[in-house]
Structure 1
Amino acid sequence: MKLRRLEVECFRGFSGRRVFDFQDGVTLIVGPVGAGKTSILSAIQFALFGADFYVGFGVSRKESLVNVGCAEASVQLSFEVAGEGVYSLRRRLSVSDGRLTESVALETPGGDVFEGASKVEGIIEEVLGLDFNEFVRSVSVSYVLVHMLAYGRPLTRSRALDILLGVNAVRRFLESIPLRTVRSSLEQAKAELSAVQAEYEEAVKSLSAFNERRASISEELRGIERQIEELSAKAESLRAEAERYESLAKELENERSYLSKLKERVKHPPSEVDLYKIIEEAENLRLMLGEVLEKLKAPQSILSMLESVAVSSEKVGEAILSLEKIVDAAWNHYDKVWEDFQESVREVQLKKAELEALEKVIVELEPSVSEYEEAEERIQELESRYGELSEIEERVRSLEQDVKEISRKIQTYRSVLQLKKSLIEDAGRKGSAQCPVCGHQVDLKGVEGIKADMEQLAKSIIELEKKLSENEKRLKELREALDDIRSLKVLLVSRELEYEKYREYLERKESLSEEIREDEVKLKEEERGYRELSAVLTKIDERVRDLRRRLVELEAVAEIAKVEDRIRKLEEELARYEPKYREYLDIRDKISKMLSRKNELEAQLRALDESSIQDQVRWLQERLSSLEARVARLEALYQRLEKVKSATREVLTALRRERIEELNRRMNAIISAVYSSEIVKSVRLEVVERSRRKGLMPTSYYELFVEVGGTKYRFNDLLSDGQKTLVVLSLLLAVYSQIRRNVDFIMLDEPLPNVDERIKVTFLKSLSKALGIDQVILTTQAEEAVKELEGVNVVKLP
């Protein structure tokens, strides 16, 4: 399989539509930071598998694949499969109302069209012979993976290599063997066995004390039963007098209760329980009730009822009953009027709820509005300091060119300075020297002139270095300002809708607040009037009902005198029976205490029988036997697991060594082809075993070694950052050559960020031949190195 054409629109760093064609051979994607180089490789990963490296490993969300200024992103990839033809694969991502929608379609060379992520990705994996994880670890190599292998700890590097080399399942099985868990269970079982043994010995000692305690309780129980029998006979002889006393006491209690209820009914002092005073007050209440009904605008039916009430000594009871009915009718009408008032109150509450909701939304929008306003102020500040965006970009490009030109001059001047120094040294030793550049002959007399030139060159270099430092500092400042303005403008676009809503909600809040203030003034006045009427009506209601109670109290006063006479006679008779009753109660109390003690002793006997020490001893014997068997099983299991873990570790070590033999050969062949070095003679990946603390098994891991001057070193201890990157990259390319399946291309994202341009050129020239593949796609910022390459396809991004 080879890549042929890629079309992207609104994907990651691309705000519009871009088309890229891929030929056989080496394709270099060149451009500065932020130009979209990595976005091209991400688009290929997304087209094939629906995710790129960062989304697939949970570093970022899929929504981030859609350009910040677009609502939809699309990617179309055409690839050719030998012997079949060209496939066309299209994916779309849409973001609407916070929801993400994805669609995918694959057209085969025969014209068949397949849709749906599951179906399409199954076909892609079958065509490539790789899944997503294998693809991003071997075919599409990210600088993140290179950095992890180059600078990660040995354990981190070993885990990554196990996955790449296909032995991760064995390593995971080895780590899953629960040797520590079984050892912990064994120690716990032994401790429990020791505790049960101690408990068993203590239970045996308690057996004799148990028998003595049971005999003592039985003897005490028999004595209590004899005393209960004697007291029960005496109590029986006093039963008749006791029952008569209780009957009289109950009757007296009933009479006293009745008297209490009668007295409770008489709440008023004697002066208030007067018929003529009740009639006078009833007439006053009738007049007050008429005034309230007029203010409430009561219906005529209620007013007619009030007019028909006549208060007289013969019909005072009927008049009070009629007033009670009219008061109830007045309350019902008041409730209707109050409900209408409450409806108006609820309307104001709804407005307040709307106002509260508006204030909550305004508070939630304030952070976004603050961000919007701060972003506007920051952009104005940056543009006033540095100029418009286009001006800053032009100044950055100009400064970049100046920095390159000054650097080239400094290098040239240093070379000339070194040449002149060599001529002076040769002339000093031999008497004269010939310039290897121009052929001019220099003798001892001409040395002074060369020295003067050297002083002038040294001054020029110092001035150029100072200028270079100033330009680099200014360039860094302008780049930072450029990045700030771009990000702030993106922020303005993302917060613009929220800012407009904020202004709209503020206007509605002011209007609604004014309406609420006017309504509350009006309702407050109405409420005060209604509450005054309610207070008057409540007072009338209470006084009418009080009149009713005073009429009832007139009847209760006569009944109280009769009841008090009956109570006096019952008290005299009760006093004659009290001595015998007290004696009877004393005997019953003694019997009750003895029965309580009897029950307590019987409970102790039952508890002794239910928790028999013999049963406890027998249970402890069974428990000891069970624990001894469990300890034996755990010891046997631990020994077997030790053997399994040891064998699995040996298998893992053997598999690791087996996998790296061919890998080392390929890695050295690749590094020899892409990096010619007199220092690094060879590189080797080895499996190293390390002993752990006492009681634990040794472990193995991968270690990279380099041979320098006939001595082997760990590559982390000796190599520079650039050399480490070359070694790790060669290792990954060797892995690719072993597992590439049906893929005849490789993609590398900025593979050598920290090596000089000469090494980059050598690497790029020899990579395709070293791997034996037809198509290589790389991203790089090294624009100068690209100029030295011939026969490569160059995609230059602005």
Structure 2
Amino acid sequence: MRFERIRLQNFKPYADAELDLRDGVTVIHGLNGSGKSSLLEACFFALYGAHALDETLDDVVTTGEDEAEIELEFAHEGETFRILRELRRSGDRIHTATCTLEGPGVAVDGATDVRAFVTDLLRMDAEAFVNCAYVRQGEVNKLINATPAQRQDTIDDLLQLGKLEEYRERASQARLGVEDVRSETRGALAKLDSQIEAKEDADLHARLNELESALADVDAKIERFEENEARAEETLAEAEEVLASHEETKAELDDLDEDIAELRETIESDEAEREELRSEIVDRRDRIDELEDELESAAAKTDLGGSESDAGTVAVDEVDADALESRREALDEREAEIREELTDARQRETMLSNQAEKLAERADEFETRAEELRERAAEAESTAGDAEDRIEERTAELAELDDEIETLRERFEGAPVEVGEAEAHRESVQASLRETRESLATKRAELESARERLDEAESLRAEGKCPECGQPVEESPHVDAIGEYEAEIETLAADIDDLEAEEDEYEAALDTAASLVDAESRLGNLREKRSLIESSIEDARETAEDRREEAESAREEAEELDAQADAKREAAETQSAAAEDAAETVESLETDLEELSTARERLDRVESLRAEIDAAESEIDRLRERRQTIGERNDERREYLQEKRERREELAEAVDEERVEAAKSNKREAEEYLEDVEEKLAELRERRDELTSDIGGVKTSLSELESLREDRDEIAAKVESLESLHEEISTLESTYSDLRAELRRRNVETLERMLNETFDLVYANDAYSRIRLDDEYELTVFQKDGTALDPEQLSGGERALFNLSLRCAIYRLLAEGIEGSAPMPPLILDEPTVFLDSGHVSRLVDLVEEMRRLGVAQILIVSHDDDLVAAADDLVTVEKDPTSNRSSVDRVADASLAAIESSADD
């Protein structure tokens, strides 16, 4: 499995970034805090989602943003897959809005399903990925700091041995479950044996025959009593029928008496209501007379009768709808005319008032602008005066600068260089002085060495030894070598004197050159300052001229605005007078409208009285109809009352009192017998039910006995099957346990060998002989003298290398174990040099080279250490903009050249 491309938008420090990841060793290089680790965290997050985070989704979205995108392309078994995760803010929280995975013939949607697909595809979840291939920043010592039990669980899970323990535990649970079921089944079998024995001891068939005979006797008695009960019920029904007929006749007589009384009362009530209606009709007629008088008075106040002088002669009959409508139309026409005139007058008043107000405002505006222009003219005059003062000051400064420039130029007269060559001259003198000092140091060292040799030769000569070879000599000592040393010392001393004199000359020349450089720099600054002062003088001169012209122009424009303001104010007064005339017209027309409103109210009163009179006449007609209807209904009730009286006389003649008394006697006797027979039948039926229940219980017991025998046969067979199943599960549990132990032993041997090979490669130190990894994953480091050390006793750098070696050995073991069916993910090292010095870093480079040699297709290293650049096939740099606090990635075209440049910088 290999990463191919990662694209980020608003992920941690990356606003927008995209990177292609290639085979070989890729070093992601940059300063601490630049965002290097975030690139690998993005790859890990794309695969496993929130399960790959130590923080929440809120922490991975760039600060200040509401959305983020992470897109990862990776290759697996020759196929390319693409994962896209989109995060979006909802309220105060960030959630996963989109999560999809696409590949050859597969499309997965949803964060949970994508994570499950990746886990199944790579055969490892997020935790296994971290423990196997992803050495995260700060976790390089994770395995060494773990307890042996934790280390055992971690490595067993990576090697899939945890599955065998899971299967063994499942088998153990199954065995315990079978034991529980077997125990329960044995108990059930014993219980069935006890129940069968108890039922066989009871004589169920004899008991059944006895109960059936008793039931037959009880059924015969019940049949006899039920026949007598039926005859008594028939007698009771006949008596009740006679009595019921008598009661119905009596009830009908009572109903007839009530109906007759009610009809009499209703007729009397309706006659009283007819009298009330007659009185109400008289009252309505009197009210109509009053309304006609009021109508005649109201009509006299209108002009319905013609001119105003004839208004009092209008008769009530003349106040009809046509006359009212005609008068209303005349009023409406007059109102429309007045309102049209009023609208025109109001519009004219508003228009004239607005014109007067705007003209006055315009006059005020002209006066304000004129005042502002006069102030501007004064300010311009003041600015022009200031500019002229600056011209005088700058001119004086310019004269002083010219004097200083001339003085500096005089310093270069007779100097070894011209103006502009001082810096080069100083560098040349510095180079000569440096060479002289180097030669002087060499000569002094040679002189010191020669004096040491001379002292040694003189000492040997005094001891009778050869000054050249140091061997003892006979007769007179040899002095040739001592003479050569003395001559060499004399020559070197002369050379040193010459070089010291030359050094003094160069130092003096360097002081002169330095002063010329300072003078040259000062001269350049003065010339630049002179140019600026000349520009300032020219600018001030232009400013003075412009401001005086501006002041003159402003004063002229202010005078023009004063004249315009006077004209506008005169026009405003004219329009204001016209507006007052229009207002008087509006007031007159509004008075006419009020008079029309009063006339219309009088007309409305006439119409209201006319309508009230019509309503009263209609009500009189309704009351007369109501009185007539009540009279007709009372005539019908009197006929119905006569019929009720005749029916009552017929029923009174049909009542037979003797037959009624005989029926009452028969009813009492039948009820007494039925009461007695019911009690006896209840006792017999209860006895029958008891016998029936007992018979049913005996039959049920017989059926249960047969069922218990069948159940016992089934349970006995089940106990036999459970015994066999328990034996098989116990064997399976032992097999899983033995297989896990054997596989762990083999893996431990291989892992120990690979760990020693890797540690020997990265830490070739004679102090350590080997590393031991026992079956419980306990790690021990042995020194050459046989002393056993806990890995925690190693130094920080050695411990970090030890852990890297362990992680790489686990990676190699997994890669060899599943090669060809599930290629391993990239080997990822995030800041592995945190605890390493420069010597240990070089060994880490050797480890990386070894893993590449062993066939790891893709190795990704995040580091700020320049020494790791040398191990890169591909170099990616990460930089953070200090202004925006956003990171960017860039691929170096030639990683080998970058390594050389990094070494040169060191």
Instruction: Give the TM-score of the pair, scaled to structure 1.
Output: 0.50
Compare CA radii of gyration and give the structure with the larger one: 2
